[in-house]
Structure 1
Amino acid sequence: MRITGVDFCGVAVTPRTNWCFLLVRTEDGRTGLGECTLANQEALLAAEAARLASRVVGWDAQARNRLARLLPHAQGGLVAQTVLSAFEGALWDLAGQALGRPIHALLGGALRETVPLYANINRGTNPRTPEGFAAAAGRALAAGFRAIKLAPFDPIIWEDAAEPAWRQGYAEGLARIAAVRAAIGPEHALMVDAHWRFSPGGAARLIQDVAGFDLFWLECPVAEANHAEIRRLRGMANDRGMRLAGAEALAGLAAYRPLIETGCYDVLMPDMKHCGGHEEMRRIAALALTAGVEIAPHNPTGPGCHAHSLHACATLPNLLPLEVQFGETE
């Protein structure tokens, strides 16, 4: 089953969103699909896909071990890792087609018949007022979701924390959380994604200020580099009844290992589009399991990543709900 072509495909789905896919074709007429969506990086993704094609055309599509040798040494940062992750997913898709079996069966078999999901209402909320977020949360509940996530602090960045506009934006973020909690009631899980908008000191204040909202987790309050600060914030969050989650854009077990071994997070969020694909997802989850860390894959993009994430999630013993981007597209 030799590879005869690797094609990049971008699809505009909303005025602000493109989904990007990698199509791997083989000599027997099959096409495997992986997703490589990365916001505003379409030109770089296409160039990286072409570069990859020049290397892998002629490969046996079942020789995934060759990819494992490429992944840790990829040049090009997150763009290259995203294209390689999509390529790995496409190879698993081809293997499943050739054998007539689902990917999760090839990964060792499903541990569950259904995968729990939660709704990320962030990109589907308009207007981005407390009332708008509350309405979006209500629509997600009506659609059957029982756990909701929002990113209420996107208008602010920690470098501006001394400015009056920052203080106003912070207060508005807290108001959005309060409105969503009121809309969904105490019986449903609520998660907040801070999108790295805070300094360590600001994140400590944030943990104190959101303690009354009974959050299931607080996600990505600070940049991933300072493990000691993240570990301290985890302790603060745990003392107030919430988990600390993060690490959504890292590639490979080597990047996740120090976060696991130093106890940074309660919940890790590897993304099928970036982490290296199915094999790396399983390695990350296995090491996390030894440390009592749970896995909630990052999955806020398109249907290719969603399909691959579902197969991966079916096999993971330490799984928390999988993310779904709710309301962004019809």
Structure 2
Amino acid sequence: MGKIATIEYFRVPPRWLFVKITDDAGNTGWGEASLEGHTQAVEGCLDAWIERYIGFEADEIEHIWQMSWRTSFYRGGPVFMSALAGIDIALWDLKARKLGVPIYQLLGGKVRDKLKVYAWIGGDRPGDIEKQALARKAQGFLSVKMNGTEDLGWLDSPAALNDCVERLKAVKALGMDAGIDFHGRVHKPMAKQLAKALEPHFPLFIEEPLLSEHIGGITQISQLTGTPIALGERLHSRWDVRPFLEAGCVDILQPDISHVGGISEMKKIAAMCETYDVAVAPHCPLGPIALAANVQVDAVMPNFAIQEMSLGIHYNAGSQDLTSYVKNPEVWDVKDGYIELLKGPGLGIEVDEAQVRKLSKNAKAWVSPGFIGPGGEVREW
């Protein structure tokens, strides 16, 4: 046993928030509390918990999780659960490192040796998409995800949907699979048309066909198409997930381990999904700590489908990616669409603390640029 001695957090580029916990015996663990566009709010929540949890037993991970949830009264939501995720992941890393085993050994043991992965690609035109898809293929990926549309109003011209179909066809022509992310920016009149237009070309899934608050509309769209419906990055606990499972409107759940309270909650959400025959494909356009935490849960998850990861070309040239903050970046090598399980203790990555501390100095919080429509109105990002 060891009591929590310090909890630190580090805002680092491009838009991530890392957490380090040290116990009174000098054991350490790393977590990730990244919440894009809301860094300062998460930091405020962490400040409150740092004051509270110093002196708690670091091994009692579930007790600390339950203390955070049940004694808070006002709970849930992206800010609260992202802060909790940073602490939870770090505590799992600390405990497993102390025992000299990967976290997945503490979660029941692995059910697979490697994980299917996909990466994001951008570009407005089929030629742009083809170029980026080829770059991903050269990295070892066989599956990608891309935005269904850029900016759309409530009812735009149906011609605005044609580019999405052509971009999907361009990726499929390379022998690759592609998920299409509507990103909640496509409103129901357009989303119904786009889902139907894409269906003959067999996308891997359509993601967030509508914003998650419109569960009735999502249910309607799920009944209009045979394409798998994926969502979940904006659901923050098992209680948020439950109505979608009960409605039968989701085929692939995409919880974000940094937004749902960490490893502890991700494992519980995955078990819930298994009882509804729903696959899990964790959302993770984030940093190496979040990805490593996902890998640990993916390893023990019977209903795991595919893991999102952000490698290399996801961000502008010269900015940070998964390899920037770890001493063993080879763990992210992709081969034939898969990555190997992380075999080291804890999260299985070695965080480069000197680099974290260096790049955290004067790091600015990322702000979503949003979309402004032709009439000057604010549209969904």
| Fold match (TM-score > 0.5) | yes
| Separation in structure 1 between the aligned mates of residue 162 and residue 280 of structure 2, nearest angstrom | 26
| Separation in structure 1 between the aligned mates of residue 224 and residue 185 of structure 2, nearest angstrom | 18
Instruction: Note if contact 2:231-2:253 (Cα within 8 Å) is conserved in structure 1.
Output: yes
After TM superposition, the score normalised by the length of structure 2 is: 0.77
1:52 CA drift (Å): 1.2
Q: Note the 1:1-330 alignment, pairs <5 A.
A: 1-12=2-13, 17-69=14-66, 70-71=68-69, 73=72, 75=75, 77-122=77-122, 128-156=124-152, 160-162=153-155, 166-167=156-157, 171=159, 174-185=162-173, 187-238=175-226, 242-326=227-311, 327-329=313-315
1:328 CA drift (Å): 2.3
Structure 2 gap ranges (5+): 316-320, 322-381
Instruction: Note if contact 1:6-1:50 (Cα within 8 Å) is conserved in structure 2.
Output: no
| Separation in structure 2 between the aligned mates of residue 195 and residue 18 of structure 1, nearest angstrom | 19
Instruction: Note if contact 1:85-1:273 (Cα within 8 Å) is conserved in structure 2.
Output: yes
- Classify 1:180/1:264 alpha carbon distance in 2 versus 1 (closer, same or farther; 3 Å): closer
| Separation in structure 1 between the aligned mates of residue 162 and residue 106 of structure 2, nearest angstrom | 45
Give the superposed CA RMSD: 1.9
Instruction: Note if contact 1:137-1:180 (Cα within 8 Å) is conserved in structure 2.
Output: no
The aligned length equals 311
1:201 CA drift (Å): 2.6
1:75 CA drift (Å): 4.1
After TM superposition, the score normalised by the length of structure 1 is: 0.88
Moved more, 105-114 or 227-236: 227-236
| Separation in structure 1 between the aligned mates of residue 277 and residue 75 of structure 2, nearest angstrom | 33
1:211 CA drift (Å): 1.9
Please state whether the residue corresponding to 1:150 is helix, strand or coil: strand
| Separation in structure 2 between the aligned mates of residue 174 and residue 5 of structure 1, nearest angstrom | 54
> Per-residue displacement from partner, 1:51-103 (whole Å, max 9, x unpaired)?
11011111100111222322364547311110101111111001101111100
- Classify 1:171/1:2 alpha carbon distance in 2 versus 1 (closer, same or farther; 3 Å): farther
Instruction: Note if contact 2:96-2:106 (Cα within 8 Å) is conserved in structure 1.
Output: yes
| Separation in structure 1 between the aligned mates of residue 275 and residue 75 of structure 2, nearest angstrom | 31
> Per-residue displacement from partner, 1:124-158 (whole Å, max 9, x unpaired)?
x5xx43322221111111111111110142323xx
1:2 CA drift (Å): 0.8
| Separation in structure 2 between the aligned mates of residue 139 and residue 174 of structure 1, nearest angstrom | 24
- The percent identity for this pair of structures is 27
Larger % of helix: which? 1
Instruction: Note if contact 1:299-1:325 (Cα within 8 Å) is conserved in structure 2.
Output: yes
| Separation in structure 1 between the aligned mates of residue 33 and residue 240 of structure 2, nearest angstrom | 19
| Separation in structure 2 between the aligned mates of residue 267 and residue 76 of structure 1, nearest angstrom | 22
